[in-house]
Chain A
Amino acid sequence: MSLLLKLLAQRIALGLLLLFLVSILIFAGTIILPGDVAQQILGQSATPEALANLRRDLGLNDPPLQRYFSWLGGLLQGDLGTSLTSGKDIAESISKRLGNTLFLAFWAAIISVPLAILLGLIAVRYRERWPDKLISAVTLASISVPEFLIAYVAIFFVSVRLRWAPSVTTINDSMSLGEKLHTISLPIAVLTLVVLAHMMRMTRAAILNVMQSAYIETAELKGLRMFTIIWKHAFPNSIAPVVNVVMLNLAYLVVGVVVIEVVFTYPGMGQFLVDHVSKRDIPVVQACGLIFAAVYIGLNMVADIVSIVANPRLRHPK
């Protein structure tokens, strides 16, 4: 166990270093982009005087390095700063958006992960027979079609024609949980279709790999039911690669769904980040970037730990 703790500490330290590097990259990236926040705020209506006044107010005349370090200093004290464009507290405005993103990701994951694994198990059980082929064909087709196209098709049939679920999924605090879930049912469905194939294929491949082993044959000879063999004997031994892929897809559900957010007008982090990148609002972009990076690093860490815990050979290295 002490080995595990040591590993955990190592991973966390490495993660923090990565986050630091990410913050430098993001800052450099936004500095390189043409135009600054003052120009972007005033747009076509920018006059030189208005620009100069706004730049002075926003502190854009300080050298970039100084701005970066004052931001970093604030961050280390737990202060994300204030947005350059709206002047609001960043932590406050992000927390609402992050909450929305996690809400959508959570419900999409709750449906898609068990469904993907179940479909994977079924595919192995009926390998090379029609259920396997049907599952593969449908999930591969849904991952091959661009997500915005699936979304538009879903909107056309489900929202416009049948009027079963809304196409504009702007949720707000005055809604009950049931109303919220009904509102976001379409994006959940589309996201499920998008992430299903990857997880299902990996489950199928990993289990099939194990199915060649001698102990599976033993189990078969003992007369166990095929599904019991897969669930009880094969699946636990193939959990590591499955968890890896599941975590990658969870990370995608949090950080990669900006297209879905735009199509369904969902107030999540993706749209929030895009808005601020196009306005060159560096502190907000930094904060979003760090959160996204932290989600990725964190989920990958979870995947590593789960695969170590699940594999005695990794738990007790020689």
Chain B
Amino acid sequence: MNEELKFLSRQAALGAITRRKFLGRAGALGLSAAAANTMLAGAVHAEGPQKGGTLRIGLQGGSTTDSLDPATAANTTAVNLIRMWGEPLVELTDDGGLQGKVAESFEASADATTWTFTIRKGITFSNGQEVTAADAAAMLDRHAGEESKSGALGLLRDIKNVSTNGRDVIIELNNGNADLPYLMSDYHLIVQPNGGKDAPDAAIGTGPYIMKEVDMGVRFVAEKNPNYWGDLGHAETIEMLVINDNTARVAALQSGQVDIIDRVPPRTAGLVARAPGITVASTAGPGHYVFIAHVNTAPFDNPDLMMALKYGINRQEMVDKILFGYGSVGNDSPINAAYPMYSEMEQREYDPDKAAEYFKKSGHEGPVLLRTSDNSFPGAPDAAALFQQSLKAAGIDLEIKREPNDGYWSEVWNNKPFCTSYWGGRSTQDQMFTTAYLSTADWNDTRYKSESFDKLLIAARAELDQDKRKAMYADMGMMVRNESGLICPMFNDFVDAYTDKIGGWVEGVAGFSLMNGYAAQRMWVTG
């Protein structure tokens, strides 16, 4: 490569010349704008993190009614906020493994029924208090106790006893669970002084930032925690704005009022990416959009009708027209390559002839009623209409009933026999299956009840031989694909966007959007 170009890109990365000037000079030297942009991004990365400055982030999902209490956190704004001031015991690595946070290490007994987490030595909360094992134990007690209002309560049911020994927190389980550390990475389970029992919403934790201004659903300002133990946090100040309107969020990025946003609408992502100085980053994740039927309710208790519906959906068309390519096709299983122990299954394709055949065999007559709403997933009513068209080719009549957004999650989802919905996914197969496909799960939204599936799930949980475990999960995925009421046409990517005023984006980070919610801490202001 041209030495002059290299020099210029370094200068631009260091802020010695402006980006615009660099692009102009690069153009004069015969480099296309796209190539110049890529080169600049590379140079910015190579220069390494720069300290200081203010990083501004625009987020969707916050509401005035939110609380700083991590137990009731339920939207992406809350997750990003928690990442500022608090930390769980362990956290996902970029490729979906585990790393210690408040706990520096963890180990299991041979049968995975007893787990020991060792608290990192010498770290303090932002109020100066030292973190002890008792704080972590109290945290588990608060979230799993009988009085709990925590969103993580469902995950922690299997805990029999929590005790401490020096810096160790010892968790005893009723049944072995090889995935327990993954559960501990849940964003609700933040280590707070005395577990947050005294002041759940005080935002005192061990995180890289300290909250300075809090205006729920509007604006937050956080400043670097000078005593943070780790290497996160490059910007001196982080300003978070809640911008719920999609167009307003994109406009804020384009007009330079924020440096990074989440949830770029797939419909306009292509246009946004064309703007100079803006990069749209799409990250594959475990989230999926679904059509769910209760298999214990007529007519969906008829396996042939379910098969007809599963063969009657055009998955690729949904990915193209609903996700605009920002996603991948589903295979009627909630598991995709984002999971650590995924094994590939034969792809189920759209086959109107087969669908018609199964439909005839089912003996069902008349239309099938599907309920949908705008907030069940972005573009759900359009997806329902596509489904209607693809079923029509198989001679199946799908009737669509549009439900109001308000009250959809309490009245329709997990309540009515056939509707559209979404899942954000979980970090392990065990969590995903336990949350939604175990017979006794509260959110078994397909009413899939299979004894052999349950047994396999419990057995896999305590299985420490990875190969055996992987085979078990493959079997379970197949069972859900063929027997449950899940029709999963697509996995949606997280689509975020950032300007060239900040550097340090890492592609393909496992977990939630915005680099699992750590973008603000891991990225830096380049000037």
Contacts and interface: CB of A to CB of B under 8 A. Distances in A.
Interface of A: 33-35, 39-50, 53-54, 57, 83, 85-87, 93, 97, 152, 155-156, 159-160, 163, 166-168, 170, 172, 262-265, 267, 271-272, 275-276, 278-279, 281
A40 B65 CA distance: 10
A46 B63 CA distance: 18
B243 interface: yes
A163 B256 CA distance: 9
Given A34-B407, A155-B251, A159-B255, A86 B150 contact: no
B63 A262 contact: no
A50 B72 CA distance: 10
B67 interface: yes
Which of B58, B241, B442, B443 neighbours the largest number of chain A CB atoms within 10 Å of its CB? B442
The listed residue with most B CB atoms (<10 A of its CB), out of A53, A86, A152, is: A86
Contact of A49 (B153, B251, B409): B153
B248 interface: yes
B252 interface: yes
Given A34-B407, A50-B150, A168-B258, A267 B65 contact: no
A193 to B, nearest CB: 18
Contacts of B39: none
A43 B442 CA distance: 13
Contact of B65 (A48, A166, A170, A275): A275
A86 B244 contact: no
Nearest to A57: B149
User: Which of B67, B151, B243, B248 has the most chain A CB within a 10 Å cutoff?
Assistant: B248
Interface in B430-454: 442-443
B215 A163 contact: no
Contact of B74 (A33, A42, A97): A42
A265 B65 contact: no
Nearest to A35: B410
A45 B156 CA distance: 13
Interface string B147-158: 111110110000
Contacts of B247: 152, 155, 263
A105 B407 CA distance: 32
B49 to A, nearest CB: 27
B65 A86 contact: yes
DSSP majority for the A interface?
Answer: helix
Contacts of B254: 160
Contacts of A267: 215, 217-219
Contacts of B258: 168
Contact of A281 (B65, B146, B255, B257): B65
Contact of A168 (B63, B153, B257): B257
Nearest to B73: A45
A47 B154 contact: yes
A170 B148 contact: no
Given A35-B411, A39-B409, A155-B251, 16 more contacts: A33-B407, A40-B410, A42-B72, A45-B151, A46-B442, A83-B65, A86-B64, A86-B216, A168-B58, A168-B243, A172-B213, A172-B215, A262-B248, A265-B241, A267-B218, A276-B65
Contacts of B257: 159, 166-168
Contact of A42 (B65, B151, B411): B151
23 contacts: A34-B410, A40-B410, A41-B74, A44-B413, A47-B153, A49-B146, A49-B148, A86-B65, A86-B67, A97-B64, A155-B247, A156-B251, A159-B251, A163-B256, A167-B252, A168-B58, A168-B258, A170-B241, A265-B245, A267-B215, A275-B63, A278-B406, A279-B63
Interface in B56-75: 58, 63-67, 72, 74
A53 B333 CA distance: 33
A149 B151 CA distance: 38
Interface string B204-227: 000000000101111100000000
A80 B300 CA distance: 49
A271 B257 CA distance: 21
Contacts of B413: 44
Contacts of B65: 41, 83, 85-86, 275-276, 279, 281
Nearest to B64: A275
Interface of B: 58, 63-67, 72, 74, 146-151, 153-154, 201, 213, 215-219, 241-245, 247-248, 251-252, 254-258, 406-407, 409-411, 413, 442-443
A44 B409 contact: yes
Given A35-B411, A40-B410, A47-B442, A53 B154 contact: no
B153 A86 contact: no
A300 B213 CA distance: 38
5 closest A-B pairs by beta carbon, nearest first, are A35-B410, A34-B407, A85-B65, A45-B151, A275-B64
B217 A275 contact: yes
A272 B64 contact: yes
A158 to B, nearest CB: 9
Contacts of B252: 167-168, 265
A278 B411 CA distance: 14
B151 A54 contact: no
Contacts of B248: 155, 167-168, 262-265
Q: Which of B217, B245, B258 has the most CB of A within 10 A?
A: B245
Contacts of B216: 86
Contacts of B72: 41-42
Contacts of A278: 63, 406
B264 to A, nearest CB: 15
A45 B251 CA distance: 32
A70 to B, nearest CB: 21
B148 to A, nearest CB: 6
Nearest to B143: A50
Contacts of B74: 41-45
Contact of B153 (A50, A155, A275): A50
A265 B63 contact: no
A39 to B, nearest CB: 5
A165 to B, nearest CB: 9
A88 to B, nearest CB: 8
A84 B147 CA distance: 17
A43 B407 CA distance: 10
Contacts of A33: 406-407
B407 A35 contact: yes
A44 B443 contact: yes
B409 A50 contact: no
B411 A160 contact: no
Contacts of A57: 149
Nearest to A265: B243
A43 B257 CA distance: 31
A163 to B, nearest CB: 6
Contact of B149 (A42, A86, A160, A263): A42
A159 B442 CA distance: 47
Given A44-B409, A85-B67, A278-B406, A167 B150 contact: no
B74 to A, nearest CB: 5
B242 A265 contact: yes
Nearest to B65: A85
A271 B255 CA distance: 23
A123 to B, nearest CB: 35
